[in-house]
Homo-oligomer: A and B are copies of this chain.
Amino acid sequence: MEGATVRNIAKEAGLSLGALRHYFSTQEELLIYAMDLVKNQAEQRIYRVIDRKLPPKEMALNMLLELLPTTEETRAEMEVWFSFVAYARHKRAGVHPYEDGLFDGITRMVHSLNKAGYLRDGIDLDAEAERLYALIDGLALHALLAPDRLNQTRLSEIVGNHLDSIWQETPQKD
């Protein structure tokens, strides 16, 4: 975040200070724009997974994997996001990266999977959503810090294990 000065951004974009200022009159506008960009890209990746109409468990796994840094692009995105989260804790009023709707989304997914009978009986749905949400963000953070240890294969393994542990393998009806 320290490097995200308006001068650095202008330089990297090949613009002068004045030119950049023509599009973004304050630094905060720039930050909010970058934040929304990352958020929208992640959302679109998720929608694309949904459109693939995979079997439920594969779909859940692939949706969750889109929230983890597995490619150079998503790694960059999530590094930006992570910086924003840390930055927004004590700063600017307009930057709210943790209102990302992720907790709501995962909660809805868990409830929906359960309603369709894919999850084990007797589990606390909200607690499971909280656990899954924490697992995902924790893995995302660790994958950023140790990308070699947590490559795509490994991440898929871990999340897959987790899904297996809450999944109802024998369907209720057939």
Contact = CB atoms under 8 A, between A and B. Distances in A.
Interface SS of chain A: helix, strand, loop or mixed? helix
A18 to B, nearest CB: 26
Q: How many copies does the complex hold?
A: 2
Given A1-B86, A82-B86, A133-B142, 11 more contacts: A1-B1, A2-B91, A82-B89, A85-B141, A98-B145, A127-B158, A131-B161, A133-B138, A134-B134, A134-B142, A138-B139
Interface of A: 1-3, 79, 82-83, 85-87, 89-91, 98, 103, 124, 127-128, 130-131, 133-139, 141-142, 144-146, 150, 154, 157-158, 161-162, 165
A8 to B, nearest CB: 12
